[in-house]
Structure 1
Amino acid sequence: MADFPISEAMHAPTLGKRKNRADDESKRRLGGPIHQERHIKVICVGAGASGLLFAYKMQRHFNNFDLTVYEKNTEVSGTWWENKYPGCACDVPSHNYTWSFEPKLDWSAVYASSGEIFNYFNNFAHKYQLHKFVRTSHQVVNSVWDNGDSRWHVTIKDLASNKEVHDSCDILINASGILNNWRWPAIPGLFDYKGTLLHTANWDDSVDLTGKHVGLIGNGSSGIQVLPTIQPKVSHVTTFIREPTWVSPVQGLEQHVFSPQERRDFEQKPGTLLEYRKSIETGLNGQFGLFLKNSTVNTATQEYMVGQMKQKINDERLISKLIPEWSVGCRRLTPGVNYLESLTKPNVTVVYGEIEKVTEKGCVCDDGNEYPLDVLICATGFDTTFKPRFPLIAGDGRNLQDEWAKEPKSYLGVAAAGFPNYLIFLGPNCPIGNGPVLSAIELQADYMCKLVDHWQTHNIKTFSPKMEAVDDFIKHKDDFMRKTVWNDPCRSWYKSGQINAPITALWPGSTLHYIEALADVRMEDFNVEYAGNRFSYLGNGYSQTELDETADWAYYIRERDDGEWLSRGKRRRDMTGSGTVRRTEAVNFTGAGRVEGKENEASAKL
């Protein structure tokens, strides 16, 4: 009879292996000074914007680490390398679609093309020599957590040789993105079509649309960008629209091509570009009131957009179909440069309703008509369910794909309960549509680096958010979302493409709110396991400082108290320059123009 329970007897070799590793780690720690930086191996999935930023942060801030970034494409930059459809652009002003510390001087316009954006991220990778971390044409296909050695064991497919590669790591970072896994629409007969079938996210540059009768499915961001680009060159466009959506650049952020003089000023006049970027970012951060139901900002913006859409469409039949009844902001807003104007061009037909099936010739709609086409373009988006793109198996055999199949529940958008040492960029309920998204990605990278630092300098073996912490967060999120326009009955990828479902894509607050929420790691929300004695990190009694002959061993002796503020409030006021800006009106790029600063509906409503 074993002298321990049957469940433990079954895992006795694993338990012994774990104990030996823990003992070895404790002994190594006791031989060095406090906070000695032990070696860490990190694997990052994806070399898009998030993966490149993480590589930059690791290189800048850490020593004694190995990092491998596996990227399925042949180039870095993720979605901005993949998406090359006509008119593809970012719907965020280009000077603010950069890292906060890495401006670009020569954007061509307020809304830049995907090619320009690809060049920005690709040049960022070259400038900081990040390619040395990246293995392109390598797709992660499986990852399994081993309780025995407390590591992720990752299987990767080398797409060039079609062979499997095996790797392992202490911490696994998922930077594969949310708008990455494109999908065909679920329309019967789609692949029976005999013409040219295209998807915006898998564009074939060899296809010439000149003089063709083109069908366009979808009026999301991609479809809205495609139509005005292809309309002048095709013989005819039949655009199939299932549902209305709000389309109009918000006031103050209309499309604008920068003049040579403006670009010279950005480059040569100190402070000009920084002031411009700050004004745009301030405006983007000032939009949050737009998403609160029945707020003055939302009501005024809706009135402005109704007027703009009526003016640009100028067709009563289309106006009655295309202007939504649900609130502005329920779906992601898009500037829609020249889209509405294109709908009434002589060579454009708008078919409103459902496509019942696709035939060899074209689309049959619920109006009973068949629409023959030479080319059919599906601008139907991505799988936005947040499930990992590969099986992610915890030590108890649970697969995160299954756990998140119905509703993804994350910890603050960056981690999953029960999946140790696993972190996520742009996970469920982070500020993808709440304000400036790259600012949120930077924050997530910093948050992950803090956890990497804690693992490296303490005696931590595993960390993962507690289930009760996740449950409390989801409860708070759901309560908050009922007060927002996102809860309106619109079909949105914010709700996994459904009309009435939990809001899984957005943070319960503004981007600035998220920045403050993740400023510090709340270790009390994590389950933490240690390698042996948790205090082994105290080491041999020496500090790191006194082992450094070049350091000031009396660095804390000074003439005045200039130390960091110990209260969160004082740190925030110091960091944000509180008291240095005189603002009687809050900049707010919406149809309402400027909103009185005293009318802070975020606090009044919530």
Structure 2
Amino acid sequence: MADFILPQNTSPTRQASRRLDGPIHAERHVNIVCVGAGASGLLLAYKLQRHFKNYSLTVFEKNPAVSGTWYENKYPGCACDVPSHNYTWSFEPKLDWSGVYASSREIYKYFDDFARKYRLFDYVKTSHQVTGAYWDDATQGYDITVNDLTTGQEIRTHCDILINAGGVLNNWRWPAIPGLDKYKGTLLHTANWDDSVNLEGKHVGLIGNGSSGIQVLPKIQPIVKQVTTFIREPTWVSPVQGLEQHVYSDEEKRDFATKAGQLTEYRKGIERGLNGQFGIFLKNSKPNNDTHDYMIEQMKEKLQDSFLEDKLIPKWHVGCRRLTPGVGYLESLGKENVSVIYGEINEVTEKGCLCDDGKEYPVDVLICATGFDTTFKPRFPLIGPDKRNLQDVWKDEARSYLGLAAPGFPNYLIFLGPNCPIGNGPVLSAIEAQADHMLKLIDRYQTHNIASFTPRQEAVDDFISHKDDFMTRSVWADPCRSWYKNRPDGPITALWPGSTLHYIEAMNELRMEDWEVKYSGNRFAWLGNGYSQTELDDTADWAYYIREVDDDEPATRGGKRRKLTKSGTVRATAGVNFTGRSSEEAEKPLRSNI
């Protein structure tokens, strides 16, 4: 077999002219830089390695290890709120999860093992933080500056395509409360946990009742002397009936490993249920109304306190904020050593928190479970051809193309960008769909004489208009305070206008009409010297299209979808939620979360 692969380190114009010496679709070298070695960055490395030739990839990771948020978050009780067997890549199951909801340390090990199994550390530079990316018109690529956090040295490099896999929940922040620097006790943040701090016998203050606060309280309550938890707004705390926290027995793990198809069917049952719950997020739908009534009943049953019921049960729709399984949280609020202070913290004093009730609450340790900067702005200056910085462009509202790219910033792609399905259903499935879509773009770039590609402004404007219209019918538009939007009455910038399955189908096809493409030289230079790739492969069948029957793939989108999804082979999918219930139970309230 004779390969003709365009050489690397040549200018776009030179590479375009070289195409005339080779066959159609000759694969030129493409140099890719990826920011972040969390789940998304590792998946990109895996897929490029599996599918591409004649490329180079460097993944810069600011932490000393891979796995992103699952390396960073180590606070007591930190876990994923998606069942562990479905918090894996579709093609890479883990046989020995300890329980239904895995700890952050166990999830970290899954992604670290994934990187080691497929030799992805060959591409990763840990303790390297990208500090800037600057478009170069001459090379049609980005000049990148990187800080080597081990030596303090600044490194400069260049890439044809820049991919941001930094994620959303990776830039933790202290709460914007005056006086935080005056506090003389031990100050902790859940995303920057100090394992050396001993909480036993201490009076602990806990700020926040988001996902991390809900996970922390039940873990620390039994060991501390007193907990004062500061809550400023209500939240729906999801019961998990049907899929409670469960520790897998050795027999269950053995069956997963040895009985053909058992683990796959178990995973499929959960995934079907996760994908069957999108109706919860639509206002006044039967699933939303039923779930609302059920969750009120469950929260009251666990709280058993009229004051807490009044303050903690929201008036807005279920799902406006991300639902979090509250394993033991509501029950902890009623323990003798737990005090709930509802309202705003006006300031932090040397001793503790001064609240809007006029009282000061002294504590020995103050834990801030106050989340992250979720504005979607890149964590480094990203300068485009017109010298604009994407950090400034997205300061007030992040407007992306399908959660993947930003208009005006060529050859720049984003994992989990604005308005992708980060809270609509199974998130790793969505990341896989994004990766596959990026591969299609990279393949087109590599096999054509494309200099740059960027989403058209009018395409982004139309997408945002469609998204905003859709969101008026969703529960996310309710006036709750959520990281899904910058302010309670603001546009929803985090979520996709549809389900995760909806997003996967939207990602299946590359819509080049939505992209502004610039070429090096004649746009048809990719036709090359007149030879096909097949003729240069003496191991290939040069008459591959001669056959006895028509076995072509379906020509229509609908036909392809029906074949891919094995339409007609599964019964009662519409009635299954993620507890695996049958269609006969479909009219009952949905009792689990995504």
Range class of TM-score, shorter chain: over 0.9
CA contact (8 A) 2:575 2:582 kept: no
Write the distance in 2 (CA, Å) between the matches of 1:177 and 1:489.
Answer: 25
Aligned: 1:522 with 2:515: no
- Counterparts of 1:65-214 in structure 2, within 5 Å, are 65-214=55-204
Note the C-alpha offset of 1:571. Answer: 0.4
1:451 to 438, 441, 445: 441
Aligned to 2:320: 330
Aligned to 2:501: 512
Write the distance in 1 (CA, Å) between the matches of 2:84 and 2:331.
Answer: 23
Q: What amino acid maps onto 2:189 in structure 1?
A: H
Q: What amino acid maps onto 1:63 in structure 2?
A: K
Write the distance in 1 (CA, Å) between the matches of 2:375 and 2:12.
Answer: 37
Write the distance in 2 (CA, Å) between the matches of 1:593 and 1:324.
Answer: 30
> Any gaps of 5 or more consecutive residues in structure 2?
1-9, 589-594
Write the distance in 2 (CA, Å) between the matches of 1:404 and 1:230.
Answer: 38
Aligned: 1:579 with 2:568: yes
CA contact (8 A) 2:145 2:156 kept: yes
CA contact (8 A) 1:303 1:591 kept: no
Aligned: 1:545 with 2:517: no
Note the C-alpha offset of 1:251. Answer: 3.8
TM (norm. structure 1) is 0.94
- 1:113-152 Cα offsets, whole Å, 9 max, x none, are 0010000000000000000100000000000001111010
Q: Could you say if the C-alpha distance between residues 265 and 442 of structure 1 is closer, same or farther in structure 2, counting changes exceeding 3 Å?
A: same
- Counterparts of 1:467-482 in structure 2, within 5 Å, are 467-482=457-472
Q: 3-state SS of the aligned residue for 1:397?
A: coil
Aligned to 1:419: 409
Write the distance in 2 (CA, Å) between the matches of 1:252 and 1:399.
Answer: 48
Q: Could you say if the C-alpha distance between residues 235 and 598 of structure 1 is closer, same or farther in structure 2, counting changes exceeding 3 Å?
A: closer
Q: 3-state SS of the aligned residue for 1:534?
A: coil
Aligned to 2:7: none
2:556 to 551, 567, 587: 567
Note the C-alpha offset of 1:465. Answer: 0.2
Aligned to 1:435: 425
Give the ranges of 4+ consecutive aligned residues of structure 1 lying more than 6 Å apart after TM superposition.
590-593, 595-599
Q: What amino acid maps onto 1:72 in structure 2?
A: K
Aligned: 1:388 with 2:378: yes
CA contact (8 A) 2:19 2:526 kept: yes
Aligned to 1:3: none
Aligned to 1:234: 224
- 1:81-117 Cα offsets, whole Å, 9 max, x none, are 0100000000111000000000001111111100100
Note the C-alpha offset of 1:254. Answer: 2.2
Aligned to 1:356: 346
Note the C-alpha offset of 1:583. Answer: 1.5
Write the distance in 2 (CA, Å) between the matches of 1:493 and 1:591.
Answer: 30
CA contact (8 A) 1:155 1:167 kept: yes
CA contact (8 A) 1:583 1:597 kept: no
Aligned to 1:255: 245
Q: What amino acid maps onto 1:491 in structure 2?
A: R
Write the distance in 1 (CA, Å) between the matches of 2:92 and 2:12.
Answer: 42
Write the distance in 2 (CA, Å) between the matches of 1:39 and 1:585.
Answer: 46
CA contact (8 A) 1:250 1:591 kept: no
Q: 3-state SS of the aligned residue for 2:370?
A: coil
Q: 3-state SS of the aligned residue for 2:169?
A: coil
Aligned to 2:284: 294
- 1:511-562 Cα offsets, whole Å, 9 max, x none, are 0000001101100000000010000010011111110111111111111111
CA contact (8 A) 1:25 1:532 kept: no
Q: What amino acid maps onto 2:44 in structure 1?
A: F
Write the distance in 2 (CA, Å) between the matches of 1:596 and 1:468.
Answer: 45
Q: Percent identity?
A: 71
Aligned to 1:13: none
Aligned: 1:280 with 2:270: yes
Aligned: 1:488 with 2:483: no
Aligned to 1:17: none
Greater displacement, 579-588 / 418-427: 579-588
Q: Could you say if the C-alpha distance between residues 258 and 22 of structure 1 is closer, same or farther in structure 2, counting changes exceeding 3 Å?
A: closer
Note the C-alpha offset of 1:594. Answer: 5.8
- 1:12-39 Cα offsets, whole Å, 9 max, x none, are xxxxxxxx94542222000000001000
Aligned: 1:33 with 2:23: yes
Aligned CA-pair RMSD = 1.6
Aligned to 2:330: 340
Aligned to 2:455: 465
Write the distance in 1 (CA, Å) between the matches of 2:573 and 2:390.
Answer: 48
Aligned to 2:4: none
1:534 to 502, 523, 537: 523
TM (norm. structure 2) is 0.96
CA contact (8 A) 1:250 1:590 kept: no
- 1:402-438 Cα offsets, whole Å, 9 max, x none, are 0000000000000000100000000000000000000
Aligned to 1:502: 491
- 1:332-361 Cα offsets, whole Å, 9 max, x none, are 000011000100011100000000100000
Q: Could you say if the C-alpha distance between residues 307 and 128 of structure 1 is closer, same or farther in structure 2, counting changes exceeding 3 Å?
A: same
Aligned to 2:41: 51
Report how many residues are paired: 579
Note the C-alpha offset of 1:265. Answer: 1.3
1:42 to 29, 32, 35: 32
Write the distance in 2 (CA, Å) between the matches of 1:118 and 1:275.
Answer: 25
- Counterparts of 1:396-411 in structure 2, within 5 Å, are 396-411=386-401
CA contact (8 A) 2:207 2:368 kept: yes
Greater displacement, 262-271 / 88-97: 262-271
Aligned to 1:4: none
Note the C-alpha offset of 1:585. Answer: 5.3
Note the C-alpha offset of 1:482. Answer: 0.0
CA contact (8 A) 1:77 1:121 kept: yes
Q: 3-state SS of the aligned residue for 2:256?
A: helix
Write the distance in 1 (CA, Å) between the matches of 2:580 and 2:202.
Answer: 38
Q: Could you say if the C-alpha distance between residues 402 and 586 of structure 1 is closer, same or farther in structure 2, counting changes exceeding 3 Å?
A: same
CA contact (8 A) 2:270 2:577 kept: no
Write the distance in 1 (CA, Å) between the matches of 2:197 and 2:303.
Answer: 30
Write the distance in 2 (CA, Å) between the matches of 1:509 and 1:23.
Answer: 42
Note the C-alpha offset of 1:248. Answer: 2.0
1:554 to 543, 549, 571: 543
Greater displacement, 293-302 / 265-274: 265-274
- 1:23-78 Cα offsets, whole Å, 9 max, x none, are 42222000000001000000000000000000000000000000000000000000
Aligned to 1:216: 206
Q: 3-state SS of the aligned residue for 2:576?
A: strand
Note the C-alpha offset of 1:327. Answer: 0.5
- 1:276-295 Cα offsets, whole Å, 9 max, x none, are 10000000000100000000
